[in-house]
Every structure is written in C-alpha cells, then in structure tokens.
Amino acid sequence: MRAGALDRTVHLRRNMPNVDPQYGERLDNFVRIQSFAADVAYDAGDERYGSEQRFAEQTLIFISRHIDDIRPTDIIEYRAVNYDIERIEELGRRKGLRITATWRAGQ
C-alpha cells in the first residue's frame, strides 16, 4: 500500500445512544470517533423503482491502514455523506483494510 494513494480524509462514526430524559425513549447519536486517510474507489451505483418509489444507492471502497477499533455497525462519513459499512476485509497481516460501504437515498 502506497502512502501517496491515501489522499482522502475519512471519518469513522459510532452510535452512542442516549435516553431522552423527558420521554425515556432511545435516541441514536452518531459521534465522530476517528479520522483516517484512505484511498477511495467508486464501486457501483444503482437506481431502481419499487412500490411506486425510486431508490438510489452508491457503493464505495475505502482502502486504509489497519484500524483496530472498527465495527460493522459503524458509519463512514466521507464528503458530508454517511455510508453504512457492508464489509471489512483485512489486507495482509494487519497492514491495511478494504472497507466496502454503501449510501442509500432516504436514510
């Protein structure tokens, strides 16, 4: 992995749920826990119709150095858009990660 290819700044966000003091319901609060450099590749985009609605999605692949504290339930923020992590693959022996993440319209 070449350091020059890691030219994008990506943020890792994690859900830190709170409880509403007035109503007692759970509130999801995604907090930025880490920023890291990554190479970004556009994998696939799709737009389709279903139940009289139009759905769009975009899949990106982020390649970065190894991160110990990353979970499939985390969210990647890139260019002010939140991407759900679909898959995390280890490259080599803890040398890097290939993270596949998807954005879906309406989420």
- For the chain, strand residue ranges (E) read 8-15, 18-19, 26-27, 30-50, 53-65, 75-78, 81-91, 96-104
Q: Could you give the CA distance from residue 37 to residue 76 in angstroms, rounded to a whole number?
A: 12
Return the pLDDT at 34: 95
Return the pLDDT at 50: 59
pTM of the model: 0.82
Q: For the chain, which domains are there?
A: 3-104 (2.40.10.270)
Phi then psi dihedrals of residue 73, to 5 deg: -85, -5
Q: Per-residue pLDDT for the chain (107 aa), expressed as one digit of tens each?
A: 676 789 999 999 999 988 888 888 998 899 999 999 999 998 866 666 656 566 788 999 999 999 999 999 999 999 999 999 999 999 999 999 999 999 988 76
Return the pLDDT at 53: 63
Phi then psi dihedrals of residue 69, to 5 deg: -105, 70
Q: Could you give the CA distance from residue 7 to residue 17 in angstroms, rounded to a whole number?
A: 32
Nearest to 13 by CA among 66, 98, 80: 80
